[in-house]
Amino acid sequence: MRPTRWRRSTYLAVGATIALLVGVIVAAAVLVSSRGNSEQVAVAPQPAPATAAPAVVPVADAAATPTPAGLAAALAGVAANPDLGRFTGRITDAMTGEQLWAQGPDVPMQPASTNKVLTTAAALLTLDRDARLTTTVLSTSPGVVVLVGGGDQTLSAAPRGQDTLYRDAARIVDLADQVRRSGVAVKTVQVDVSAYSGPTMAPGWDPLDIDGGDIAPMESVMLDGGRTQPLTDQSRRSRTPALDAGRALAVALGVDPATVTVLPAAARGEEIASVQSPPLMQRLREMMNYSDNVMAESTGREVAAAAGQPRSFDGAARAVLTALGNAGIETAGARLLDSSGLSVDDRLTARTLDEVINAAAGDDRPALRPLVDLLPIAGGSGTLSNRYLDTDAGRAAAGYLRAKTGSLTATNTLAGIVTDESGRVLTFALLSNEAGPTGRTALDAFAATLRSCGCGA
């Protein structure tokens, strides 16, 4: 299950409330303790005001590097947990790129959503960080307008002034307003989904995952990521997302939604309305933090378009692997059938995943550096917000470990970075297939050990 989305301001407000309550309690205690002798009551001096000086503090270059022997000894126990099933991994020093520990690093494994690490890296390498996706409306003949999808899955049917699941999402109502201002008298709405090609469901996807809220058929226009409950992150998804978007535009224009159709080919006409998605970096952050499969597939198609490939599952997978190969990432053993990792037929190696993370944490590929900031924080954000909080080792790693998670039936994966107790930054990729009932907590325990193992000797 994915955690419910939260807003940072909520936690700030809670913290402020707690601080206020503590102050009230302390003041009350002082008054109560002094009531015994009113003649001796004295007002204590006010404490100095609290200050905050947030900053990004670099780790020390001279921090001790764990030794391969030290890591092997520290990890032997957690690596032996049978609930890890078939388990591979790789751990590397972020500064030097030296491999410190590995187990089957070149064995292709089911990556689940750690596949999104590759999709995000390829996007950072090939796309403008401010890139936006455009949804348009064309007037094609008297009384007929066509909603043309440009790949923006964050488009929302929410009324103006109402919250949207995706922050700063474009809205159907704005398209409708522009159409009305154009003077076109609309009688019929059609939908153009020609921007995407190929099948709408990838090999290895389970159609039941639509009802489960994990995916929608990939069409080039949909509302709120295809969710049937627009403000619920884990909502069931629609089986006809493009048609739904066309019907929403029809309703906004006062046209019978039952007459909306999806065109078999690209439309031609005069553009009379357009809206744009949030910028790429904002969309990547939402995709990575909440492991949004629809957003990942859309991003893969953006990479494909930039590479001159078809905006399809195959085209996106080819474009992602080509972008990484051109950046010097080892992709041998990779077999990708989608851009999200939802396919049970995807295969990646720990080496490929760790090399991507290591490149982002190092200095040689600055374009990849934002990837580190997009990783969920253990015990703090995204899909790791409710993990690493139940054991002493986990709590010790909370805040110091950042990773992309992956979960499918009997599969648990992690790819990310951790700062150990000496201040050394390590990158890692861990893949557990055919896992037992406590496979996820076993994987977390393995990763948490990297924080506090004292592996320098």
The answer to whether 364 touches 377, Cβ cutoff 8 Å, is no
Contacts of 375 (CB under 8 A, 6+ apart): 288, 402, 403, 404, 416, 417
Contact 284, 123 (CB under 8 A): yes
Catalytic-residue membership of 404: no
Strands, E, within 268-317: which ranges?
Answer: 270-276
The catalytic position among 113, 139, 220, 339 is 113
Catalytic, 116? Answer yes
Pick from 119, 82, 90: nearest CA to 447: 90
Amino acid at 122: A
Q: Which of 156, 277, 291, 343 is catalytic?
A: 291
Which structure tokens are listed for 331?
A: 């992709």
Tokens 């955690």 sit on residue: 3
Tell me the torsion sign for CA atoms 78, 79, 84, 85. negative
The Cα 352–Cα 104 span in angstroms is: 12
Angle at Cα 380 formed by Cα 379 and Cα 381, nearest 5°?
A: 120
Q: What does each C-alpha distance from 73 to 78, 192, 441, 442, 453 come to in angstroms?
A: 10, 59, 20, 17, 9
Residue 381 falls in the annotated catalytic set: no
How far apart are the C-alpha atoms of 38 and 23, rounded to whole Å?
A: 22
Catalytic site residues? 113, 116, 291
